[in-house]
């Protein structure tokens, strides 16, 4: 079966979700999802009568972006597997050196992500997830590519694992002829199928991705033929095709978006906004009437400018105005209620006041998302960040940007989502533990029983701070204390020597001085 046939076969399961995504897009961001048959880029899209939906989607996507890929904080950490460390017979004391190397690798990866345009594509994918509930990301070596729901189909097993993906892209026939001359005859034959559609210069390219045991394999087809050198493969843990879902339902291959959950409020808000706009326009309309028996002609009155002089009687001219603005109060109140509910659903009410993003703000945003969205944010953490990080590390290792990491010894750990919340909880628990000891046993118990070096390390770990070359080790503290003690002893000895010198000088000054010798005494020979 060709990729095109497989795409058409799986499209029947997608139609329901695609239609829901289109309806959600019309009320929020109409350009996100369009009908699969709508290939015209010049078609005018209908805009909703309210902007609350668009603002909600952009706000929620931005907060998800801040929590998943923070700018100034690393979203992952390389750690040593304690069990593997013991099994390999490596001295645990070398862990500090390993942590130093890991921190350099983390900085290298974060700099690589910051230099790329990954965040742009990820933010666009998050908007698709909020609206349509589905998005497909292809991770090439140097950039990311996004496929909306109307451009791919997917099939999953009972556990939700992806077993098949087929994408559809429309490219220029001229490009196909230039890149693959052997397909030129097929290009000519296909012009009949596109006759009368205005798209004779384009053709469909399908990419078929399948799971094969412990790997994924894929190839591209055009006109039912495999494109040369389009085959690819990758292990399961470094699969570049990420089929993301916002909310999952059992036995469904596609996800459901946040907008679909509040589609009723958005439809009501859009209808009321339309009624208010049209009613306000009608209420604001002013019409002048002229008496039939009046000598003033309506055309003369219509053509008269401001301050013009016309012949006629003022009593023959009247003004008609609806003046029903007071009747809109009920609609206004309902609109305010709907806007408030939608703002709470899409986290619009919380506004950032800081000029720059801090680690604490990222943690608070993650906590807010976890509280409002439940496990949906955690699902994105697992389905997106884990394969994204594994793919990034694999590509960087093959390119020689970072050294190869032993898979049995080193394990990447995501510090976003629930894990990031747990790190903050660890800090609060540690602080409460020390306060309990100080309150029950006295402050001296902390000095007696608590290891200060370990406390500093755990506090730094809970806040995601690298302690290398920042916190002194116990050996360094002891060495500095010994040096300070030696310096103090040397200072005391110096003070004592200075004191003894002053005493000796004072005693020398108390002795009687001898009179100077006379010339006769000098010239007198010494007697034995």
Distance CA 151, CA 82 (A): 45
Q: Which two tokens stand for residue 511?
A: 């002795």
DSSP state of 471: S
Coil vs helix vs strand at 185: helix
Distances in Å between the alpha carbon of 438 and those of 60, 454, 457?
43, 17, 20
Helix (H) or strand (E) holding 215: strand 215-222
pLDDT of residue 70: 80
Helix (H) or strand (E) holding 427: helix 418-441
Judged by phi (left if over 0) then psi (alpha if -120 to 50, else beta), residue 347 lies in left
Q: Which residue has the tokens 């490596």?
A: 90
Closest CA to 421 of 375, 474, 355: 375
Coil vs helix vs strand at 342: helix
Distance CA 252, CA 129 (A): 16
Distance CA 296, CA 476 (A): 103
Q: Which residues, in sequence order, are CB contacts of 434 under 8 Å at separation 6+?
A: 446, 450, 455
pLDDT tens for the 528 residues of the chain, in order: 899 999 999 999 999 999 999 999 999 999 998 875 545 555 667 789 999 999 999 999 988 888 888 877 778 888 777 666 555 555 655 665 676 677 788 888 888 888 888 999 999 999 999 999 999 999 998 899 999 999 999 999 988 899 999 999 988 888 877 777 766 666 555 555 444 444 567 889 999 999 998 999 999 999 888 888 889 999 998 999 999 999 888 889 999 999 999 999 999 999 999 988 888 887 777 888 888 877 778 888 888 888 888 887 888 888 877 766 667 788 889 999 999 999 888 888 655 555 555 656 666 766 766 677 766 777 788 889 889 999 999 999 998 888 888 777 777 877 765 555 445 556 777 788 888 888 888 888 888 888 777 777 777 766 656 666 666 766 777 777 788 888 888 888 888 777 777 777 776 665 555 555 555 554 555 444
165, 157 Cβ separation under 8 angstroms: no
Q: Which two tokens stand for residue 191?
A: 């012009």
DSSP string, 217-273: EEEEEETTEEPTT--EEEEGGG-SEEEEESS--TT-SS---HHHHTHHHHHHHHHHH
435, 395 Cβ separation under 8 angstroms: no
4, 224 Cβ separation under 8 angstroms: yes
pLDDT of residue 186: 63
pLDDT of residue 315: 81
Coil vs helix vs strand at 141: coil
Distance CA 126, CA 321 (A): 48
DSSP string, 303-339: H--TT----S-GGGEEEEE---GGGGHHHHHHHHHHH
340, 30 Cβ separation under 8 angstroms: no
Distance CA 446, CA 436 (A): 10
Compute how many other C-beta atoms are within 10 angstroms of the C-beta atom of residue 480: 11
Q: Please state whether the predicted TM-score (pTM) of the whole model is above 0.85.
A: no
pLDDT of residue 29: 93
pLDDT of residue 176: 79
Q: Which two tokens stand for residue 519?
A: 């010339």
Rg (CA), the chain: 39
Q: Which two tokens stand for residue 370?
A: 């976890």
Helix (H) or strand (E) holding 114: helix 95-115
Closest CA to 99 of 121, 76, 78, 126: 78
Q: Would you mind telling me the total number of residues written for the chain in this entry?
A: 528
Distance CA 454, CA 459 (A): 9
125, 418 Cβ separation under 8 angstroms: no
Helix, strand, coil distribution of the chain in percent, nearest 5? 55, 15, 30
**Measured torsion, CA atoms of residues 356, 362, 364, 367, in degrees rounded to the nearest 10:** 160
291, 51 Cβ separation under 8 angstroms: no
Give the 3-state secondary structure of 58-104. HHHHHHHHHHHCCCCCCCEEEEECHHHHHHCCCCHHHHHHHHHHHHH
């Amino acid at each position: 079966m060709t990729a095109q046939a497989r795409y058409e076969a799986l499209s029947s399961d997608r139609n329901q979700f695609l239609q829901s995504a289109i309806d959600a897009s019309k009320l929020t961001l109409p350009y996100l999802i369009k009908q699969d048959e709508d290939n015209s880029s010049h078609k005018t899209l209908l805009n909703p009568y309210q902007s609350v939906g668009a603002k909600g989607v952009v706000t929620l996507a931005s907060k998800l972006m801040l929590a998943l890929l923070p700018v100034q904080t690393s979203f992952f950490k390389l750690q040593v597997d304690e069990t593997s460390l013991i099994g390999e017979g490596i001295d645990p004391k070398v862990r500090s050196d390993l942590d130093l190397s890991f921190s350099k690798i983390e900085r290298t990866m974060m700099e690589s992500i910051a230099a790329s345009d990954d965040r742009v594509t990820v933010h666009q994918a998050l908007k698709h997830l909020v609206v349509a509930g589905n998005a497909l990301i292809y991770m090439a070596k140097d950039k990311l590519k996004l496929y909306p729901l109307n451009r791919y189909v997917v099939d999953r097993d009972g556990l939700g694992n992806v077993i098949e993906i087929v994408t559809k892209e429309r490219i220029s026939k001229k490009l196909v002829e230039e890149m693959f001359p052997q397909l030129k005859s097929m290009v000519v034959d296909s012009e009949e199928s596109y006759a009368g559609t205005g798209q004779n210069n384009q053709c469909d390219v399908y990419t078929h991705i399948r799971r094969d045991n412990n790997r994924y394999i894929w190839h591209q087809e055009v006109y039912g033929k495999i494109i040369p050198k389009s085959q690819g493969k990758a292990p399961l843990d470094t699969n570049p095709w990420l089929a993301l879902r916002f909310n999952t339902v059992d036995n469904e291959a596609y996800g459901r978006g946040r907008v679909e959950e509040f589609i009723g409020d958005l439809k009501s808000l859009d209808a009321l906004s339309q009624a208010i706009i049209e009613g306000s326009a009608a209420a604001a309309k002013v019409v002048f009437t002229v008496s039939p028996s009046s000598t003033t002609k309506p055309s003369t009155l219509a053509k008269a400018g401001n301050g013009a002089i016309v012949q006629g009687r003022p009593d023959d001219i009247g003004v008609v105005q609806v003046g029903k603005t007071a009747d809109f109060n009920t609609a206004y109140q309902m609109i305010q209620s709907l806007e408030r509910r939608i703002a709470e659903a899409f986290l619009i009410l919380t506004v950032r006041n800081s000029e720059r993003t801090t680690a604490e703000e990222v943690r608070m945003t993650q906590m807010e998302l976890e509280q409002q969205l439940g496990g949906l944010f955690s699902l994105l953490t697992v389905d997106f960040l884990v394969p994204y990080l594994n793919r990034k590390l694999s590509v960087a290792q093959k390119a020689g940007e970072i050294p190869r990491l032993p898979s049995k010894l080193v394990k990447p750990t995501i510090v976003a989502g629930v894990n990031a919340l747990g790190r903050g909880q660890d800090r609060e628990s540690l602080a409460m533990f020390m306060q309990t000891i100080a309150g029950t046993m006295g402050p001296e118990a902390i000095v007696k029983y608590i290891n200060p070096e370990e406390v500093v390390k755990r506090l730094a770990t809970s806040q995601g701070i690298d302690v290398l070359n920042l916190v002194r080790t116990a050996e360094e503290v002891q060495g500095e204390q010994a040096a300070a003690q030696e310096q103090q002893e040397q200072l005391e000895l110096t003070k004592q020597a200075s004191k003894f010198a002053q005493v000796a000088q004072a005693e020398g000054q108390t002795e009687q001085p001898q009179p100077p010798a006379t010339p006769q005494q000098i010239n007198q020979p010494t007697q034995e």
